[in-house]
Chains A and B, each alone.
Chain A
Amino acid sequence: MSKKGTSTFILQRASAVLLAPLSIWFLFEIVSALTADYATARAWVAAPWNALLLGAFFIIGALHMRIGLAEIIVDYVHSWAKDVFLFINWLAALGLIAAAAWSIYTLSFAG
């Protein structure tokens, strides 16, 4: 864990608490959304509640997965490569948030 261990610990738990109901919603919707054709899938994401919940799932999921994988990296990697992996882990989470927010915004308002 990082030196900011306590706040990281709390953010990991808080994100888990928020992800629990979001995941239940996600499990109900996701298979039919993923297997839908182009037009149906676009309409599904653009529906306001879906856009909001999917956006929240991506963003809170990105924060949670970043902390979780950082913990795993720190457990197993003890060389200089540790910092490289931690940096890539940050980039992946930021990229996920940016890609999801931009895409969902486009589908909701500019699509």
Chain B
Amino acid sequence: MADGAASKRPLSPHLQIWRFTVTLAASITHRGTGVVLYGGLLLMALWVIGLALNPALFATVSAIIHSPLGFILIAGFVWSLSFHLMNGLRHLYWDSGRGFALKTATMTAWLVYIAATLATALVIWAGYGGSA
């Protein structure tokens, strides 16, 4: 970059040839759900602190949990954990040196999205006493 001429080099064409693949989506979603779970664990800590030490804090957290926002937060947390868990197992399978074939990776990525969504529906339905 020092001689100025270097800045006239052609740019990498990656922005023009980019296209959707489910394996790329899954890897971005793994990172996104990891961050969501980070926030979720911190919110869970507020719940358990309130429960143990501060009834007023528990009442506030509980009011949010029972609001529509609370339902969205819980459903988002459950989907994120389901996805991250299943895709995490996919990662661990790769770490064992298997599952890299493009066809396999594409199939398992779709599988993780579908299974995480089904698991979330089941957890939410059962968790709200089969009435949600």
Give the B-binding residues of A (Cβ under 8 A).
13, 16-17, 19-20, 23-24, 26-28, 30-32, 34-35, 37-38, 41-42, 45, 54, 58, 61-62, 65, 68-69, 72, 92, 95-96, 99-100, 102-104, 106-107, 111
Can you list 6 A-B contacts (CB < 8 A)? A13-B95, A20-B89, A23-B85, A27-B82, A35-B65, A68-B34
Question: What total of chain B residues lie within 8 Å of the partner, measured CB to CB?
Answer: 38
Q: Do A62 and B52 have beta carbons less than 8 Å apart? A: no
**Contacting B55 at CB < 8 Å: which of A13, A23, A38?**
A38
Whether, in the assembled complex, B123 has its beta carbon less than 8 Å from a beta carbon of chain A, the answer is: yes
Assuming the contacts A31-B128, A92-B42, A96-B41, asked whether A103 and B52 have C-beta atoms less than 8 A apart, the reply is yes
Give the A-binding residues of B (Cβ under 8 A).
31, 34-35, 37-38, 41-42, 44-45, 47-49, 51-53, 55, 58-59, 62, 65-66, 74, 78, 81-82, 85, 88-89, 91-92, 95, 119, 123-124, 126-129
Taking each of B44, B66, B82, B126, which has the highest tally of chain A beta carbons within 10 Å of its own beta carbon? B44
Assuming the contacts A58-B45, A62-B41, A65-B37, asked whether A111 and B91 have C-beta atoms less than 8 A apart, the reply is no
> How far does the alpha carbon of A32 sit from the alpha carbon of B130 in the complex, in Å?
11
- Tell me whether chain B's interface is mostly helix, strand or loop, or mixed: helix
Assuming the contacts A26-B81, A31-B128, A35-B66, asked whether A103 and B42 have C-beta atoms less than 8 A apart, the reply is no
**Contacting A99 at CB < 8 Å: which of B48, B58, B88?**
B48
The residues of A that contact B78 with a CB separation of less than 8 Å are 27, 30-31
Q: Do A31 and B124 have beta carbons less than 8 Å apart? A: yes
Q: Do A16 and B128 have beta carbons less than 8 Å apart? A: no
